């Protein structure tokens, strides 16, 4: 007896106002999936926003308006979505039996800081020396620690430890940005 195998992909993105969710489920061809529902709880919230109207294989670009975080000017302005742990549950009927749930650590603001830092560094097409080499090592270390924070949240199921690591990385990135005099970032 075949069954639906629900799964989602929530890729990291540098678009601050959108969270992309991709349906990567395998559906049983003999049973039509009904009532496809995403329940998303943003960081700092305790109640999920329920989003419906999806079809199998969907790609959803979720905004602050979709989540009820932004309630005005949705047609003209998009607010940024905060970094942090989002609880994402995807279900189909019967929802109490057929669902999958993820803790997703959104790291968009941190990724954008890293890109800005890399723009700021005076890197040429040769082996960097001195201070630039040290700053590149620091950025690489922080990038790796950011991935470790995601692993703690998404694979080790330890959102508190992952957020502590994220906050540490973010504070170090902010400190590094203090020395950045880039005007084109």
> Is this structure's pTM higher than 0.85?
yes
Which part of the chain is CATH 2.60.40? Answer: 8-106
What tokens appear for 92 in the block? 């189909």
CA distance 153 to 21: 17
The class level of CATH for 8-106 reads: mainly beta
pLDDT at 79: 96
141-169 pLDDT, tens per residue? 999 999 999 999 999 999 999 999 999 99
65-92 pLDDT, tens per residue? 999 999 999 989 999 999 999 999 999 9
Query: Residue 185 above 60 pLDDT?
Result: no
CA-nearest of 36, 33, 69 to 51 is 36
Q: How many residues belong to the chain? A: 185
Mean pLDDT of 130-142: 84
Q: Is the distance from CB of 182 to CB of 119 less than 8 angstroms?
A: yes
Mean pLDDT of 132-145: 89
Q: Is the distance from CB of 85 to CB of 159 less than 8 angstroms?
A: yes
């Amino acid at each position: 007896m075949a069954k639906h195998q629900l799964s989602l992909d929530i890729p990291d993105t540098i678009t601050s106002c959108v969270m992309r969710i991709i349906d990567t489920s395998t559906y049983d061809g003999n049973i039509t999936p009904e009532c496809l529902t995403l329940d998303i709880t943003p960081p700092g919230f305790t109640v999920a926003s329920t989003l419906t109207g999806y079809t199998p294989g969907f790609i959803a670009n979720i905004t602050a308006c979709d989540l009820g975080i932004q309630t005005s000017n949705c047609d003209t302005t998009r607010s940024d979505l905060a970094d942090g742990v989002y609880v994402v549950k995807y279900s189909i009927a019967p929802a109490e039996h057929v669902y999958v749930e993820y803790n997703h650590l959104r790291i968009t603001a941190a990724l954008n800081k890293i890109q800005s830092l890399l723009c700021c560094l005076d890197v040429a097409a040769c082996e960097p020396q001195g201070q630039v080499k040290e700053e590149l090592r620091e950025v690489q270390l922080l990038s790796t620690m950011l991935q470790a924070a995601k692993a703690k949240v998404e694979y080790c199921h330890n959102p508190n430890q992952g957020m502590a690591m994220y906050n540490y990385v973010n504070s170090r990135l902010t400190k590094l940005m203090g020395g950045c005099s880039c005007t084109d970032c």
